[in-house]
Amino acid sequence: MSSVQLVVIGAGPGGYAAAFLAADLGMEVAIVEKENNPGGVCLYRGCIPSKALLHVAKIMSEAKHAAHFGIEYAAPKIDINKLREWKQSVVSKLTGGLGQLAKARKIRYIQGEASFINSTTLSIKKTDGTTEELTFGKAILATGSRPSSIPTLPQSKHIWNSTAALDMEIIPETMLVIGGGYIGMELGTAYHELGTKISIVEMLDGLLPGADRDLAAVLNKRAQGMFHKIMLETKVVKTVETANGILVTFAGKDGKEFSEEYNKVLVSIGRRPNSENIGIENTKVKVTSRGFVEVDAQRRTADENIYAIGDIAGDPMLAHKASHEGRVAVESIAGKRVAWEPQAIPAVVFTDPEIAWCGITEAEAVKAGKTVQVVKFPWGASGRALTLDRQDGLTKMIIDPETQRILGVGIVGVGAGEMISEGVLAIEMGCVANDLKLSIHPHPTLSETMMETAESFFGHSTHIYKPKK
């Protein structure tokens, strides 16, 4: 039996960030992970490969769009094998790099699957076929999440989840995306540009639930032109495997049923935490009915030796939230007085246009009955947006009218994901509208819309004229 001071179970962006910091602080650290290198869903089957594909999609979309300016390209030839290889090389480069970093930090990397025997011991089924018992001082649980599935769907190679879609076995002619959340929208966008006719079905009355409606509306307008069909308030009632794919029967809002056949069906209805089959019942760790591990402000579970971070520790299931939590957990273990208390966790949807927001949303403010003032700057008034021929954008801020503090920022438009960090910084620093208004932003950039939104809080944005009431 071997022992270690800290063991991190799962080496996604939460786990490896935690392990690396712990090693940097002088702890003796082990990682237990199924893959041969750190990275987790984010690097292997999530953020990174999807962004590689979306980059390709963007280039193709822009090349097509260039016809508007009198620049015409011939239709693209797609070599899917080469594309897949390139995407894979990005993943390998990143995960391999992380493996190197773990080695350089003298972290013991155990490839396998861990299960708790008790609050201080793990049993590890190693990939090499052997089993090891490992005692630990502290453990950080970072086993992440996996795509939720619909149990009523048939077992079929035509039914994909996000992992299968990113594997890119083929580029289907037609594909149905079940679920209008960010994963479905991103993968739908990528496959659309690669030539697939995309249909989207969503039970709720709008795409991207969680984002403010005015932001989603901008994306929706473009998506209407892009996708074959967007079916809102519609349910999938039946799926039958056919020779060429899946025959899907829907029920609309009015209850009327209709059917359509698709080569592939992509299920993207959310993700669920990986809290089963890891021996949690042998510890004092508590799990909620939804499968999340309960944690305190230090990310400590009900078992004092065990911490939990990332997707398994609760929503939002985002890589950057996980890695930040990992650092909190490790610093807490190192005896530092830290707490998990972000005031703004940015969310980015890498569609075209992108949607990003942080802090409180307008919808949340309304729901909480909070008095806020919402100010918006439409990108039609941004010079930079015009030079990009992308006026389909909006920057908005949710401001406390009393203190003038910025409570939330929402952006839709190209590059919104890169812009949102300014909003995060503003909220974390307790900025008031004047701070953003008085900070000089470079011209001509899209970031100016942040400054002008703050200006319009005072009723005098340079590039928007509002007659006095």
Partner 1 sequence: MELKLPNLGENITQGTVTKVLVAAGESIKKGQNILELETDKAVLEVPSPQEGVIGKVLIKAGDIVKVGAPVFELSGGNASPSATPVAAPKAEAAKSAPAPVVAAQSAAAPVAALVATPSAPVRANVPAAPSVRLFAREIGIDIGVVPGTGAGGRISINDVKAYAKSLNTSRAASSGIAPVPLPDFTKWGQVRREPMNNVRRKTAEHLSHAWNSIPHVTQFEKTDITELEKLRKRFTSDKRKLSITPFILKVVAAALKQFPQFNSAVDMTTNEIVYKSYINIGVAVDTDRGLIVPVLKNVDQKSIMQISDELTQIASRARDRKTTMEEMTGGCFTISNLGGIGGTFFTPIVNSPEVAILGVSRGVMEPLYMENQFVPRLMLPLSLSYDHRIIDGANGARFIRWVAEAISQPFLMDLEK
Interface residues with partner 1 (CB under 8 A) are: 3-5, 25-28, 135-138, 286, 294, 296-298, 300, 304-305, 332-341, 343, 400, 403-405, 407, 428-430, 432, 434-435
Contact present, 28 and 107 (Cβ < 8 Å): no
- Is residue 304 classed as helix, strand or coil in its secondary structure? coil
Nearer to partner 1, 81 or 289 (CB): 289
Whether omega before 444 lies within 30 degrees of 0, making that bond cis, reads yes
3-state DSSP assignment of residue 40: helix
Query: Closest approach of Cβ 421 to partner 1, in Å?
Result: 14
Nearer to partner 1, 151 or 369 (CB): 369
Q: How far is the CB of 360 from partner 1 (least distance, A)?
A: 8
| Residue 136 or 160 with smaller CB distance to partner 1 | 136
Q: What's the number of CA atoms in the CB half-sphere (13 Å) around residue 96?
A: 6
Shortest distance, position 3 Cβ to partner 1, whole Å: 5
Return all residues near 449 (Cβ < 8 A) that are at least 6 apart.
377, 379, 382, 385, 393, 395, 411, 413, 419
C-alpha pair distances (Å), 306 with each of 122, 328, 416: 12, 13, 37
CA separation, residue 436 to residues 307, 422, 423, 426 (Å)? 38, 9, 9, 8
- Residue 297 beta carbon to partner 1: minimum distance, rounded to whole angstroms: 5
DSSP track, 412-430: EETTHHHHHHHHHHHHHTT
Q: Which is nearer to partner 1, 104 or 237 (CB)?
A: 104
**How many Å apart are CA 51 and CA 344, to the nearest integer?**
23
Instruction: Output the six-digit token pair for 36.
Output: 């041969």
Distance from the first to the final alpha carbon of the chain? 77
- Measured from the CB atom, the residue of 59 and 425 that comes closer to partner 1 is 425
Say which of 228, 443, 460, 463 is annotated catalytic: 443
Q: Is 443 a catalytic residue?
A: yes
Q: Nearest to residue 274, comparing CAs of 87, 119, 148?
A: 148
Report residue 1 as tokens: 């039996």
Question: Is 66 or 425 the residue whose CB approaches partner 1 more closely?
Answer: 425
User: Which residue type does 92 have?
Assistant: S
Residue 272 Cβ vs partner 1, minimum distance, rounded to whole Å: 20
Query: Shortest approach of partner 1 to residue 382 CB, angstroms?
Result: 27
Minimum CB–partner distance for residue 388 and partner 1 (Å):
33
Q: Return d(Cα 238, Cα 257) in angstroms, integer.
A: 10
Name the residues annotated as catalytic.
443
